[in-house]
Structure 1
């Protein structure tokens, strides 16, 4: 049997574009070359898809602020086929090698919100990670909270306002409902993009304006006092959970800068200092959240743990970071699954789900 052709799709028309470039580089460095041939498909900030060369696809790769995708002349298009979609060079019309499986590592908008997953389903290509529905509801913090609450899973109290309701947002009313300080977030973003902690009306108004720059819905949340505990989940029908880790922010909160720019912005403690009972509780609750939101493949579940041990779900990340300091691969590493084996397992799960989907009937009369 020959090598498996893996298309790594990265970059994207997203505020998390630069994070995706870092994630892609680490996956490329870790993937087992005896098993896989890699096709790099970079998506620039305008949404244009292109084929990149491994040895030259990044500019300023060691500077997280200046890192960027190198432009190429090899623009691509994708043609849905009878069995699987085919990729070809837009200019030369040359057909590229058949892709066996896609590893999408575009974080945020159009990569983590079900858009990419819907495209790959339409193309009938196996892909790593959560399917369309789980991606969409997990990315939308509003709907994720509704679903989790309905399942009896604790989430932070909050208020959601759509763009047309912006003029109706009253600081005094919000404060009376949620107290101070508050967190203001775009509903559909990750990596703490557009997130601000506020304590005054002036800060609040500025944070609302910034959040609406990234999404049409804004979430205003109460501040939860507790430890920031994260747990990685892996699997389809029978998911398993890693040992938990803990974020120890050295700044006011775990911001985008703390995650990807400032090396001293946070300390990542893995495994977290928890009792066996607490560890098991986090793992069980992470799997419960994963299943409730219809996740498959992988996700990182982030909690606040209050002083009495109560767990509050903060968010679920269905395309977690794969940078050199990212918690998802790090947590599996300390749990006994090193980076290359983690990639193997994610690809196995992609094929497993795809084969299951192929068994479904697509016509009433055949």
Structure 2
């Protein structure tokens, strides 16, 4: 049987570049070699696409703080309607075409619909949400407004854009209470996020968030348990068991997620009161559908002491590192890492084949 060529696209021009490298390594190591032929496509921090070899495509692989892309590789690209044919920037390549793409790109220029649109133009099926779902999932402002419109419970938030007047700490606290969070609107992995307790830390937090985005969110601090649910599917998605994050840091920061293996305790499945897991799973599915997500998504929620569940956000390309929740939740739900990758690729191809049947001409 001819193997399916899977282009694993990773790295990216984003502050979450290093997280993507860790995720890609795990997917590359776990993918079923009997069924799939992985093709490594790394994007460096300048935005160059590089064809990687199966050996030495990463440097410092055992150190999450120093891991980097080996950039001594052949620059490549795809052309519109190329059907996955890999084109060399510098010369001819005899590498054939990829059959499906598996983008493992976290943050802007990868998770926000840009690469998804590029792959659609190249006529390549790809894992995960499409252009719209990816863009919505990346922009926390738009995401939260859509969730609110869909009647899904969320926390209070304010939005600031670059150039407008920055409200005083007291003004924000009067609406959101204190402490509250300040974060870039289009960033993940807790990059640029600060927990603000007082006036002294407020302006520094705003400045940090604006260094990553032109739009930032101010969110209320919700005193509750941090629970998560993994979702898998296209039109009829499934929800995993519920997991709980118990951070050892002040909040679930970038360091706690990716650098400090003791940064949090992951309780899978979470020990929850009767009926709460089912309620959280239902909310996760509703969120997934309301935000036009496809393929995969991780829904992050808060469980308050009174039993109320609030949705925090969706991650349309959640982490696939060795300590990431998404694959762990599915493993606890009976789907192994290789099986999960297989299901995601099948979902990508199924959607692509369905979209191919749509008419592109009225006449």
Q: What CA RMSD, in Å, does the superposition of the two structures yield over aligned residues?
A: 1.0
Contact residue 88 and residue 95 of structure 1 kept, 8 A: no
Q: Give the structure 1 partner of residue 343 of structure 2.
A: 345
Give the TM-score, by structure 2 length.
0.98
Q: Give the structure 2 partner of residue 104 of structure 1.
A: 103
The CA distance in 1 between the partners of 2:5 and 2:130, in whole Å, is: 20
For the residue of structure 1 that corresponds to 2:95, the secondary structure is: coil
Give aligned pairs, total. Answer: 363
**Which string of whole-angstrom CA distances, capped at 9 and with x for unpartnered residues, describes residues 323-355 of structure 1?**
001000000000000000000000000001001
**Which string of whole-angstrom CA distances, capped at 9 and with x for unpartnered residues, describes residues 200-254 of structure 1?**
1120100000000100001001100000000000001110000010000111100
The CA distance in 2 between the partners of 1:335 and 1:189, in whole Å, is: 28
Q: Give the structure 2 partner of residue 77 of structure 1.
A: 77
**Which string of whole-angstrom CA distances, capped at 9 and with x for unpartnered residues, describes residues 260-317 of structure 1?**
1112211111111114511111111100100000111000000000011111111100
Q: Give the structure 1 partner of residue 317 of structure 2.
A: 319
Contact residue 270 and residue 331 of structure 1 kept, 8 A: yes
After superposing on structure 2, the runs of 4+ consecutive aligned residues of structure 1 that deviate more than 3 Å are none
Contact residue 40 and residue 54 of structure 1 kept, 8 A: yes
Q: Give the structure 1 partner of residue 31 of structure 2.
A: 31
Q: Give the structure 1 partner of residue 61 of structure 2.
A: 61
Contact residue 261 and residue 323 of structure 2 kept, 8 A: no
- 1:122, distance to aligned residue in structure 2 (A): 1.1
The CA distance in 1 between the partners of 2:297 and 2:37, in whole Å, is: 25
For the residue of structure 2 that corresponds to 1:346, the secondary structure is: helix
Do residues 129 (structure 1) and 140 (structure 2) align? no
Contact residue 52 and residue 73 of structure 2 kept, 8 A: no
Q: Give the structure 1 partner of residue 3 of structure 2.
A: 3
Q: Give the structure 1 partner of residue 205 of structure 2.
A: 207
For the residue of structure 2 that corresponds to 1:39, the secondary structure is: strand
Give the TM-score, by structure 1 length.
0.97
The CA distance in 1 between the partners of 2:198 and 2:274, in whole Å, is: 41
For the residue of structure 2 that corresponds to 1:183, the secondary structure is: strand
- Structure 2 residue corresponding to 1:355, chosen from 325, 336, 353: 353
- 1:170, distance to aligned residue in structure 2 (A): 2.0
For the residue of structure 2 that corresponds to 1:316, the secondary structure is: strand
For the residue of structure 1 that corresponds to 2:236, the secondary structure is: coil
Of stretches 201-210 and 83-92 in structure 1, the one that deviates more from structure 2 is: 83-92
> Structure 2: which 5+ residue stretches go unaligned?
none
**Which string of whole-angstrom CA distances, capped at 9 and with x for unpartnered residues, describes residues 75-96 of structure 1?**
1021223x62421121112253
> Structure 1: which 5+ residue stretches go unaligned?
none
Pairs within 5 Å for 1:134-149 = 134-149=133-148
Do residues 252 (structure 1) and 288 (structure 2) align? no
Contact residue 86 and residue 95 of structure 1 kept, 8 A: no
**Which string of whole-angstrom CA distances, capped at 9 and with x for unpartnered residues, describes residues 21-51 of structure 1?**
0000000110000000111000000000001
